[in-house]
Structure 1
Amino acid sequence: MHTRSTCRRTRRSRTGLALFAAALLATACSSTDASTSARSASGASLAALPQATPAELAPYYGQKLSWRDCGVPGFQCATMKAPLDYAHPAEGDVRLAVARKKATGPGQRLGSLLVNPGGPGGSAVGYLQQYAGIGYPEEVRARYDMVAVDPRGVARSEPVECLDGPKMDAYTRTDTTPDDEKETEQLVGAYKTFAEGCSTDAPELLRHVSTAESARDMDLLRGVLGDEKLTYVGASYGTFLGATYAGLFPDRVGRLVLDGAMDPSLPARQLNMEQTAGFETAFQSFAKDCVRQSGCPLGGKGTAPDQVGKNLKAFFGKLDAHPIRTAGTDGRELTESLATTGVIAAMYDEGAWPQLREALTAATKKNDAAGLLALSDSYYERDPDGTYSNLMSANAAVNCLDLPAAFTSPDEVRAALPDFEKASPVFGEGLAWASLNCAYWPVQPSGEPHRIAAEGSAPIVVVGTTRDPATPYRWAEALAAQLSAGRLLTYDGDGHTAYGRGSTCVDSAIDAYLLRGTAPANGKRCS
């Protein structure tokens, strides 16, 4: 997506329009521990860690969690210690928030099922308490302890906090389609201010929030919980986290589901470009649906999708010159950047399309910005009181550590604009400029593109949706092909991710795998 957190990856929502939406992707395994991965060159394969647990980590694997009431009925919470730096575990700890809901029965307990909704920056604990622990199939919840850990730097696990609410408001409305040098300087200044805020808040932690380190934290939790192997369902960025785990610990892979998969072998610029095209694909589907409805604000029946896109782009242009101020929104203005965020947020779930039509109708016909601001706020996790979760801060912290920046200067962005605008005439310009954020990050990246084979692992189910806006279907194909035991499960449909989104075919295949260990045949297709 085009947000100022740049390279933001996605996470899905199971709660309607509480859209834990996404932005531009930047992914790679990273760690300051040279033993963690083989990172000699682009396209290198992630190397497994030694099977024996190092002696210096034994105290961490041997710790006992002290479970307590979470304040949410049926859930327990605990704090787990992990080394801040796995290469030097004696130099300090990071404290990670863990939650669980114990297996309800009947039936024999199968162990722990760890869940992660993506992001990076999404709260796995919040996701467990709000959806997975009550919304996963009853038979799955009966047989598994449902478990989540907020990754380091996220939500309840020593969160990175870059800007306060008012400064985040200013940041999110910064123009990401600069028309001249002055506006370019303002955008660069916003990126620098954001990065400086993160560095001031957590200078040491910023060096140790990589995906590889979070994957090692997951293995630590597996050991502490007493499970021989990891059973895991990860969505969106959670697929990269799960695949990294499989690459590092192939012998400890139990039943892994990677839904809305990412391709770890791609550099940031290519990831961003392909996701830009993914949003265009999703928008074309929305446009076709919109003009079939009465009162589509972007064109009447029979209007071509390309023209719908031009009409939306023209609306964005008007907002660039004259933002809309709406009563009842605390005097906030709907800028071009916030409106674009609102539209892209609705691309994650086709169930949000009616709300988007209503919001666009109100904005274009009545100068009422409330609907698009609500969609944008859901994306940024902005509360009505003007406070934000740390999603955007953690998102940038992980992304900018995991991969070298897509662009290092405004000139590089300008040179790439034609390609981005070809990928998406509607969103390409803003998405290209959003990719500049990591150029000003205070910590050097420790990861790079790589393949993940996870040689010797048990079957891993990789799920791809054909018109997924945020994790294009080709990425699922690529990851399934990289994994030595990958099984590709395809959902022919719209929206981001597939499990639990209405396809009985997808759900029954994944449930059978989780409950009986029966992986679907590679190449199975559902609709």
Structure 2
Amino acid sequence: MSVLTRRGLTATVLVLTLAACTSESPAPAPSAGLERFHQQTLQWEKCDDYTSTATEDTIMALVDGLECARMEAPLNYAEPGGRTVEIAVARHAARGAKVGSLVTNPGGPGGSGVFGAATTVLGLDEAKSPLLERFDLVGFDPRGVGATRPAVDCFTDAEADRNAVPLTTQGTTVEWTENDTRAVVERCAKDSGGPEALAGLGTRDVARDMDVLRVVLGDEKLTFLGQSYGTRLGAVYAEQFPQNVRAMLLDGAIDSRQATVERRVGAYTGFQAAFERMAAFCAQQASCPIGRDPKTATAEFQKLVQPLHEKPIPALGGELDFDGAVGGVISGLYTSAAWPRIVKGLAQLRQNRGDELAQLGFDFGGRDAKGAWTNFGEANYAINCMDEQRLTEEQGNELRAAIFQAAPFMDPGVELTGARDGCEHWPAPPTLGFPYAVDVQGLPATLVVSITGDPTTPHAGGIRLAETLGSALLTVRGEGHTIVTAGTNPCVNEAAAAYLIDLEVPAKGATCTL
């Protein structure tokens, strides 16, 4: 049986994010009982104990003035006197006259906002962005993520390196039994704070944490910059606390009206389109390993990777199977800058080697050169269990077939069953609700930024979210997934600063070009 590992999780985990369930959206918990959380004072310190890999250590050390702390929040907002969680927070102080705090989320779910704060400061600093002058730049690790306690922990790094980490079936060749799905949940509960902790990982609770953070930081209103999954978090916060929003910029936006199946098929459709654009780039090279005709690139790719389902090949001291190869390719489809690495990896497949594609997966999953992994994949899986609609095995099999039809470059060419939902034995039902953030009243002017060639959060979804929230829309023509914190595009930089600092939204129909 082939299993999805952290090497191959980028083929599926990220595109399975942001899928909603069909239950009615609950109202936010009342603030009664939260006084002690609102009144806490964060104890800022060096960030040495807030990283999990050498890569994070190296990047965060480049940021002068970055400081970290842990904020206490209720594990269960219905019982604020019960167990608590410690939310890891990072801050880079404003260099000039301060507007307030700019709270950020880099995506996922499962992405570290502490590490994301460091990379955001570096990107904005390179662009000489006024955002660093006017805001305390703040990132936090959502509950279950990174340096937050407890953090989701389902597998060891050694198990990840042995390709023994099943996380999901969708978009993969994984075939699960009910015993398999029960075992993974039990394993996660054991090392992640128990069933109660797993039940408290949903986006609605993260949004409540963010409102506590707003108060603790001393901000009357929240200024928020969310990317990818962060646009879901922002939309949920806007739904629950519209009166507390000052400004909200949502970059790489997700359609809050899309349910699970539609969202997932749409995301994989986007990856197929990105694959075809990568293939056209490859076809310009005489030695393109999937041929000089982009129209036949999918079929040529299938010839290369489908044999890996039965016969994995050597890769970085281990093996690369079909799911790992597809995962490596998808990792590189997020940005056109990585397309040459995909081409190199495909050429290696013809030499019976999988090093480059495996490394692409490693890089995206956060594994460092010493073999340490972030908990991105596990947190992603766990948070989605509290957000997404849960499917029956029959529905799962139908969805997998629809995914392969939408993204034929991912088709393994074999008959598969056992597409069971990895959350079927989760200790609590999902809490997000679908649709969410609809008919929000009292929300101030917000801004959605969406790239036309985004491979995983399609531009159409960004348009829809802007319509749903009544947001201004900035369309960015080009390839890539999220752009605002990169600091690489002057047009986007100017629009983001004008909005976040002065609350000036772009004119209707505004565009930038990458």
Short-chain TM bin = 0.7 to 0.9
- Of the candidates 94, 108, 112, which is equivalent to residue 123 of structure 1? 112
Equivalent residue number for residue 16 of structure 1: none
| Percent of paired sites with the same residue | 34
**Alpha-carbon separation, structure 1, partners of 2:159 and 2:389:** 26
Q: Please point out which of 347, 365, 390 is paired with 2:333.
A: 347
**What is residue 372 of structure 1 aligned with on the other side?**
357
**Matched-pair contact (CA < 8 Å) for 1:233–1:257:** yes
Provide structure 1 residue ranges, at least 5 long, that are not aligned to the other structure: 11-19, 30-38
Whole-Å separation in 1 of the counterparts to 2:148 and 2:259: 28
Aligned partner of 1:498 in structure 2 is 483
Mapped contact 2:204–2:431 kept (Cα < 8 A):
no
Residue 408 in 1 paired to residue 408 in 2?
Answer: no
Equivalent of residue 135 in structure 1, options 86, 101, 123 = 123
Match runs of 1:67-466 below 5 Å = 67-71=44-48, 72=61, 73-105=64-96, 108-129=97-118, 131-136=119-124, 137-138=127-128, 139-158=130-149, 159-168=151-160, 169-172=162-165, 184-185=175-176, 191-201=181-191, 202=193, 203-300=195-292, 303-305=293-295, 307-326=296-315, 329-330=316-317, 332-364=318-350, 366-405=351-390, 407-409=391-393, 411-427=394-410, 436-452=421-437, 453-466=439-452
Distance 1:141 1:416 in 2: 44
**Amino acid corresponding to residue 491 of structure 2 in structure 1:** C
Query: In the alignment, is the contact (CA less than 8 A) between 2:400 and 2:419 conserved in 1?
Result: no
What residue identity is the alignment partner of 1:64? T
SS state at 1:232 partner? strand
Return the letter of the residue paired with 1:62.
Q
The alpha-carbon deviation at position 429 of structure 1 amounts to 6.4
Tell me by how many angstroms 1:435 deviates.
Answer: 7.7
Does the C-alpha gap of structure 1 residues 79 and 363 become closer, same or farther in structure 2, counting only changes over 3 Å?
A: same
3-state SS of 1:98 partner: strand
What secondary structure, in the 3-state scheme, does the structure 1 residue paired with 2:338 have? helix
Is the contact made by 2:450 and 2:474 (CA closer than 8 Å) also made in structure 1? yes
Q: 2:33 aligns with which of 50, 56, 64?
A: 56
Shift, 1:509, TM fit: 1.1
Aligned counterpart, 1:474: 460
The CA deviation string for residues 195-251 of structure 1, in whole angstroms up to 9 with x for no partner, is: 221122232210111101111111111111111111111110011011111111111
Check conservation: 1:257, 1:461, Cα contact below 8 A: yes
Give a deviation string over 1:122-169, Cα, whole Å, max 9, x none: 10001112x112321432111111111111110011111011123334
Structure 1 contact 319–335 (Cα < 8 Å) conserved: yes
The offset of 1:440, in angstroms, is 4.4
SS in 1 for 2:14: coil
Distance 1:349 1:79, change over 3 A: same
Letter paired with 2:163: A
Residues 152 and 214, structure 1, Cα contact 8 Å, conserved in 2: yes
Which residue identity lines up with residue 282 of structure 1 in the other structure?
Answer: A
Q: Which amino acid aligns with 1:474?
A: A
Contact 1:251/1:456 (8 A) holds in 2: yes
When residues 189 and 339 of structure 1 are mapped into structure 2, their CA distance, relative to the original with a 3 A threshold, is farther
Moved more, 447-456 or 348-357: 447-456
Give the conservation status (yes or no) of the 8 Å contact 1:3–1:434.
no
Compared CA separation, residues 24 and 174, structure 1 to 2 (3 A) = closer
| CA distance in 1 between partners of 2:281 and 2:488 (Å) | 19
Q: Give deviations 1:397-440, integer Å, cap 9, x for gaps.
A: 110111222x321x333334443233111126699987833334
Against the structure 1 CA distance between its residues 247 and 432, is the aligned structure 2 distance closer, same or farther, given a 3 Å change threshold?
A: farther
CA RMSD, Structure 1 to Structure 2 (Å):
3.0
* Higher mean C-alpha displacement, 392-401 vs 159-168: 159-168
- Aligned equivalents of 1:78, 1:496: Cα separation in 2: 30
1:358-417, Cα deviation, whole Å (9 max, x unpaired): 1211222x2222111101112322233333211111111110111222x321x3333344
**How far apart are the structure 2 equivalents of 1:175 and 1:104?**
44
Q: Deviations over 1:73-100 (max 9, x none)?
A: 4111111111111111011211111110
* TM-score, normalised relative to structure 1: 0.85
Give the length in aligned residue pairs.
486
Give secondary structure in 1 for the equivalent of 2:139. Answer: strand
- Aligned to 2:103, what secondary structure does the other structure show? strand
Is the CA contact 2:302–2:411 (under 8 Å) kept in the aligned structure 1?
A: no
Contact between 1:279 and 1:424, CA under 8 Å: does it hold in 2? yes
Q: Are 1:320 and 1:335, in contact at CA under 8 Å, matched by a contact in 2? A: yes
